[in-house]
Chain A
Amino acid sequence: MSDHLKLHTDGQSAGGDDDITRGLRALYAAPTGDDYWRGLEARILSRLTEASAPGITWWDELDRWMRPALVAAAVVLLASGIAIVRTLETDHEVAADAMLTPTPSSLPVETAVRPVLQEHRETTFRYLMTP
């Protein structure tokens, strides 16, 4: 029997099955009217549009902030680098200046010899010179 031409006899009173088939067709009848189908079509398409529209989720939000965050991080790194370089340069300059600039310790200092020590030295000198 062709699948396209089905005879619903099935070894039973065809009239009974015919009743069942009629009843089933009545129960499962699809809505009629083009308005209904246009409405369903619109709902299906609207659902597709909603589904294909990008929703805002936490990873979307994260993604949205990713670029500014990367730029900010790069700026912070650059600023830190510049600050470190400047600090190092300043340290070198200070060190060089410290080497070239006379320090207060090189200023002339008046020395005084303790009289006791001077006497002791002269005594020693005389002792040595004395034949």
Chain B
Amino acid sequence: MTVAIAYRPQLSPVSDAKRATEREYVIAAQRGSDAAFAELVRLHQRRAYAVARAIVLSHEDAEDAVQDGFLHAYRALDRFRSDQPFGAWLNRIVANAALDLVRRRKVRDAEELPETVALPFRDPGEADELRRRLSGALTHLTDRQRAVIVLHDVEGYTHGEIGSMLGIPEGTARSDLHHARAALRRRLSDVRSEE
């Protein structure tokens, strides 16, 4: 039996040191150091991108959401308690920026393109059949289900972390994940049975 394992290492002395460094950057940034905030951007932009990408429909929107998120974080930095993990706080902000972007896109699309269904996943070099089918199946999930399954299965976040990021209870995240997987399995098996 194949078992997919999403593993994240426990805190080590190295990560403790990183966290201490990060805390120094946060404190310096709160005192007005733009260089320290730039370090925080460098440390967290990849994770922030992954969070945004799980929620929005395109790479470009993910970039926009990351930029919005960092901007909001920069403005709200005074309100951040430096004894908390900066990454979790930032990811919540980025997730909110991404959700906001999705809402705005929906309103705009509803106004401009009422009859079209968005094809969310650009994949110009589509070689993998599974990826093509999966892309199609993902369009049948709700935005939240899609975000939950990507954050969990691709990024390895826990249900609690996902709930915190998306502003939903942990149980809802768990349930969304279950339904998302079931829907994807159903869609993919339908395609298989048609072949």
Binding site for B on A (CB under 8 A): 3-10, 12, 14-28, 30-31, 37, 40-41, 43-45, 47-48, 51-52
Query: A4 CA to B6 CA in the complex, in Å?
Result: 7
Report the Cα distance A9→B66, complex, angstroms: 32
Distance to closest chain A CB from B154 (angstroms): 5
Complex Cα–Cα for A16 and B37 (A) = 43
Known: A27-B123, A40-B63. A7 touches B185 (CB 8 A): no
> Can you identify 10 A-B contacts, CB atoms within 8 angstroms?
A12-B181, A18-B4, A21-B154, A22-B130, A25-B153, A27-B131, A28-B54, A31-B59, A37-B45, A40-B49
Q: How far is the CA of A45 from the CA of B189 in the complex (A)?
A: 45
Q: Which of A18, A20, A47 contacts B188 (CB 8 A)?
A: A20
B37 to chain A, nearest CB (A): 7
Residues of B within 8 A of A22 (CB): 130
Report the bound CA distance from A10 to B178 in whole Å: 8
Complex CA distance for A79 and B175, rounded to whole angstroms: 78
Give the interface segment out of B67-75, B101-109, B111-119.
B67-75
B66 touches A21 (CB 8 A): no
State in angstroms the CA–CA spacing of A30 and B130 once bound together.
19
Neighbour of A43 across the interface among B1, B54, B67, CB < 8 A = B67
B93 nearest CB across to chain A (Å): 13
Q: Which residues of A contact B135 (CB under 8 A)?
A: 27
Nearest-CB residue, chain A, relative to B9: A4
Asked whether A30 lies within 8 Å of B67 as measured between CB atoms, the reply is no
A68 to chain B, nearest CB (A): 31
Query: Are B6 and A41 interface neighbours, CB within 8 A?
Result: no
B9, B46, B123, B131: the one contacting A30 at CB < 8 Å is: B46
- Known interface pairs A4-B10, A20-B181; 16 further A-B residue pairs with C-beta atoms within 8 A, sorted by A's residue number: A6-B156, A6-B158, A16-B188, A17-B185, A18-B2, A18-B4, A27-B121, A27-B131, A28-B50, A28-B150, A30-B53, A40-B49, A41-B42, A45-B38, A48-B74, A51-B74
Return the chain B residue nearest A38 by Cβ.
B42
What DSSP secondary structure best describes chain B's contact surface?
Answer: helix
Contacts of A6 in B (CB 8 A): 5-6, 152, 156, 158
Partner of A21, one of B38, B42, B128, B153: B153
Query: In the complex where A8-B153, A14-B2 touch, is A44 in contact with B70 (Cβ < 8 A)?
Result: yes
5 smallest beta-carbon distances between A and B, as pairs: A3-B158, A23-B134, A8-B4, A6-B6, A21-B153
Chain B contacts for A21, CB-based, 8 A: 4, 153-154
Given A27-B123, A30-B49, A47-B67, do A10 and B181 touch, yes or no (CB 8 Å)? Answer: yes
Q: Which of B63, B123, B135 has the most CB of A within 10 A?
A: B63
Interface string of B47-87 (1 = CB under 8 A from A): 00110011000010001001100110011000000000000
Shortest CB-to-CB span from A45 to chain B, Å, is 6
Does A47 contact B4, Cβ atoms closer than 8 Å? no
A residues less than 8 Å from B154 (CB atoms): 21, 24-25, 28
When distances are taken between beta carbons in the complex, the residues of chain B under 8 Å from A27 are 121, 123, 131, 134-135, 138
